[in-house]
Amino acid sequence: MSAVEPRLLKKLSDQVMNNTIDRDNLSYAFKAQNGLNRERVQQLWSMKKEPEWMLDLRLKSLEHFERMPMPEWGADLSELDAQNLCYYARPTDKVHTSWDKVPEAIKQRFERLGIPQAERRYLAGVGAQFESELIYKNLHKKWVDQGVIFSDISNAMHEYPELVKKYFGTVIRASDNKFSALNGAVWSGGSFVYVPHGVHIDMPLQAYFRINDEQVGQFERTLIIAEPGSFVHYVEGCSAPKYQSNSLHSAVVEVVALPGSHVRYTTIQNWSNSVYNLVTKRAIAYKNARVEWIDGNFGSKVTMKYPSVVLKESGASGHVMSIAVAGDTQWIDSGAKMIHCASNTSSSIVSKSISQSGGRSSYRGLVKILPGVQNVSASVVCDALLMDQDSRSDTYPTIDVKASENAVVHEASVSKISDAQKFYIQTRAISEQAASAMIVNGFIDPFVQHLPLEYAVEINRLIEMEMEGSVG
């Protein structure tokens, strides 16, 4: 029995995201000293020229962060040294709206990723963040004219203060967990998306995040507000070069899906193996609103991420489609949470994971139905593929139901690529490696179906290329 090439699927998105060992050479407009304390937070606040209420919020968050212990469950965070990170680095002095004006080194990085070209052809708007700040943001005039806002929170706080103040921190409080507290203290960058009543943005909004320098932490904060009856598809991708020392990506994403709105949030995460990726993502879905989290986890040393939807009013629905590919030295602990606060709500979670070359992938999830809630339909499907003897797969779901007249179903399975399936494909003259690639592509197909076309094609092609190099 042959072994499949190590790092097989990890490399796939290395190419999608054009991850290379090299760091982009550029000088920074500003870079803070390492370490985290009240002074640094205040310095950050004053550099960004934010209102008083934001300083309060940042400082209170810092207190929570310092007070709360590290979580005792989940992936191993023992090597994370929070004090030895730079919490703010700004490569340029302003946000550009034209690629020509962006510094050459940064522009090249994004061109290699195909971002400017994609923007011309497939996207409604693009935002690009390098280290702690946005360097580029552009929204097609068509959407600007309809009142759509695609910016970052810092900017939005100056131009639309009431809007930001109304929703910021209402979905995820600083005290929610240690890392949302950290984000509350030092957040910078991220996206602010506002979609007015009834507007359907029919092309995706793309945001791209890159950690470039060593030991820089990235703490973007994203807030999406979808007014009643609106639709938006937001796609984010991220990458970082590989270093000896670790860095941290601790983001917070809040989505407010007002009645009748539809928000789809896609993430293709491919941080290198030196990044701790600890993210809190939550949506509140109001009456008849629909929220979808499409979550692709390919990179990072450790990921802990559980996109959730609070189904607050009747008719709301929440959906998570997540895949995790954990390779050598990686531990991806991911999943989803659905909280049913109202009757007549529904949710579905589909989680597919692949563990190979000693990687570890865990599913952690929660489906909760509060007392008195009825007529909920919830389903969870977790399938895991273990590619070899060195890897590991875990599943830790919880179903917590305090009411009746509901239906919650959960199915999970763990296995390897079936010999019988491989044989069947081989009898059609297809090599063993190509057969494995075909099966793996089929396994992640439900996820790939939800991706914008160019990512989907790229991922399939890269899995095939990977399998070609394997030993027979």
Which residue ranges make up the site for other proteins (CB under 8 A)? 371-372, 374, 384, 386-389, 391-416, 418-421, 423-432, 434-435, 438-439, 441-446, 472
Closer of 30 and 424 to other proteins (Cβ): 424
Closer of 189 and 359 to other proteins (Cβ): 359
User: What is the nearest approach in angstroms of other proteins to the Cβ of residue 471?
Assistant: 13
User: What is the nearest approach in angstroms of other proteins to the Cβ of residue 126?
Assistant: 31
User: What is the nearest approach in angstroms of other proteins to the Cβ of residue 398?
Assistant: 5
Closer of 117 and 413 to other proteins (Cβ): 413
Closer of 133 and 383 to other proteins (Cβ): 383
CA-CA distance, 311 to 80, in Å (whole number)? 34
Reduced to 3 states, what is the DSSP secondary structure of residue 352?
strand
User: What is the nearest approach in angstroms of other proteins to the Cβ of residue 355?
Assistant: 8
Please give the DSSP secondary-structure letter assigned to residue 216. Answer: B
385, 357 Cβ separation under 8 angstroms: no
226, 195 Cβ separation under 8 angstroms: yes
The packing angle between helices 419-426 and 432-448, to 10°, is 110
Residue indicated by tokens 């593929």: 385
User: What is the nearest approach in angstroms of other proteins to the Cβ of residue 4?
Assistant: 11
Please give the DSSP secondary-structure letter assigned to residue 341. Answer: -
User: What is the nearest approach in angstroms of other proteins to the Cβ of residue 445?
Assistant: 3
User: What is the nearest approach in angstroms of other proteins to the Cβ of residue 121?
Assistant: 23
Residue indicated by tokens 């929220």: 291
User: What is the nearest approach in angstroms of other proteins to the Cβ of residue 41?
Assistant: 39
User: What is the nearest approach in angstroms of other proteins to the Cβ of residue 350?
Assistant: 12
User: What is the nearest approach in angstroms of other proteins to the Cβ of residue 385?
Assistant: 8
User: What is the nearest approach in angstroms of other proteins to the Cβ of residue 384?
Assistant: 7
Measured CA to CA in angstroms, residue 303 lies from 28, 214, 413, 443 at distances of 28, 19, 22, 21
Closer of 279 and 417 to other proteins (Cβ): 417
Closer of 30 and 423 to other proteins (Cβ): 423
269, 304 Cβ separation under 8 angstroms: no
Q: Is beta strand 89-90 parallel, antiparallel or unpaired with respect to 30-31?
A: antiparallel
Residue type, 450: H
- Transcribe 430-446 into DSSP letters: --HHHHHHHHHHHHHHH
Residue 141 backbone phi and psi in degrees, to 5 = -55, -35
Closer of 47 and 457 to other proteins (Cβ): 457
Closer of 27 and 427 to other proteins (Cβ): 427
Closer of 261 and 391 to other proteins (Cβ): 391
**Lookup: tokens for 268:** 């293709």
Closer of 108 and 415 to other proteins (Cβ): 415
204, 123 Cβ separation under 8 angstroms: yes
Which of 433, 352, 411, 410 has the alpha carbon at shortest distance from 386?
352
41, 295 Cβ separation under 8 angstroms: no
CA-CA distance, 386 to 416, in Å (whole number)? 5
164, 155 Cβ separation under 8 angstroms: no
Reduced to 3 states, what is the DSSP secondary structure of residue 452?
coil
Q: Length of the chain in residues, anyone?
A: 472
Closer of 97 and 418 to other proteins (Cβ): 418
**Lookup: tokens for 321:** 């489609």
122, 204 Cβ separation under 8 angstroms: yes
